[in-house]
Amino acid sequence: MEKIRATSPLFQGFRQFALHSFLQGKTFSDAVAVDEFLNDLRADINKALSKENMLFGLRTEVMFEYLVAGLGKVALLKQEDGAECYARDGSALEIPDFRIVLEDSRQILVEVKNLHHSNPTKALTLKADYLDGLCKYATLTKSELFIAIYWSRWRLWTLNKPDAFTRQGGAAELPFLESHKSSHMALLGDCAIGTRWPLRFVMFLEELNSTKVSDSERTISVKIEAVKMFCEEDEITDPTEKTIAWFLMLYGNWKETEHTHSDEEGRLYAVEYRFEPEEVPVGQNVHIAGNLSTMFVRSFLSATSDRDSKSVRQFHMKSKPGALGRLIPEGYKGKALPLWILYLVAENVDDVGKEVENDGNH
């Protein structure tokens, strides 16, 4: 997957200027037209920056775009909303955020929503008329409608059809727990990844000198002799497996702990960072490290959030379309890093083969 160059910012900016001039009754030759446009634009930007909820909502849309492009499974991803639209009957018509063409040529429309709530029984609630307007647009364009929901407290994405929502009066509701039963994120290439544990990142050291500070403390100088990765006791040497293991350690759900190792004379010879699930049934040596989408969320938030205040710093990050989907090559067979790759299919899906093809990567 590759990104097609969008309209030049020069043209986009000038179109906004032209529309602003028209609405203000100015022509391009008016001496104050540019200054008035820039002043109004500056005021609008400052107003937007002061609305935290709006910033989080807009960043969620951008995050979904990067996620789908990163997974690289779809044939086409395009912003649907944001451009002029004309309709013979535009009453109650709502335009979704994205149009996606799947690998089997099906076209779907996706509206992105963000819900930030700590109660897992809390439902996403939409106005029924609003959901109907989205459905009406999908019908006109002969497309299927999906609602992509980012449950931000858990950093989880679901992709749900309108019929997953329960209608109550003028509202349409979908609880957090129910959303996962009917999620179609596998359509976009999302999957859960598991492996043996612990994953270990070990720095082997040579102690150069040591200075006693107190009876219980000392200052030491060390040289790093080697850095190695392990899955349980098996060293990971394959470059692809190293990349996968590093990604799982950085962005997976497992708990990180630090351990130091000293020889019989008390000299420090290794520092180990161990990643393992917090709770595992006895005898189970394979555990899910997380969904690709959730691990991507962590990398995206790290790139776009202010580290201190956790506020939105920017919307964009450096990434290559399809890179997330290529993390685990097709036909991957583990050597030191065996993987479970689970595609979660929505309940009551009759044509499972259409939902996702089992690629044998286990």
Pick the range with the lowest mean pLDDT from 95-99, 119-123, 273-277, 284-288.
119-123
| Domain annotation covers residue 32 | yes
Query: Is residue 356 predicted with pLDDT exceeding 50?
Result: no
How large is the average pLDDT for residues 39-50? 88
| Domain annotation covers residue 245 | yes
| Domain annotation covers residue 313 | yes
d(CA 125, CA 127): 7
Domains identified in the chain, total number: 2
| Domain annotation covers residue 65 | no
The encoded tokens of residue 82 equal 């944001």
Beta-carbon-side half-sphere exposure of residue 260 (alpha carbons within 13 Å): 7
Query: Is residue 53 predicted with pLDDT exceeding 90?
Result: no
Q: What pLDDT sits at residue 197? A: 92
| Domain annotation covers residue 270 | yes
Q: Which range of residues forms the domain containing residue 243?
A: 193-355
> What confidence tier does 105 reach under pLDDT thresholds 50, 70, 90?
very high
How large is the average pLDDT for residues 170-180? 93
| Domain annotation covers residue 267 | yes
| Domain annotation covers residue 204 | yes
Q: What's this model's pTM, rounded to 2 decimal places?
A: 0.87
Could you read off the pLDDT of 336-347 as tens digits, one per residue? 999 999 988 876
Kindly give, in sequence order, each residue whose CB lies less than 8 Å from that of residue 16, ignoring residues fewer than 6 positions away. 37, 41
The residue among 281 and 134 whose pLDDT is bigger is 134
Beta-sheet pairing, 144-151 with 107-115: parallel
The residue among 282 and 56 whose pLDDT is bigger is 56
| Domain annotation covers residue 252 | yes
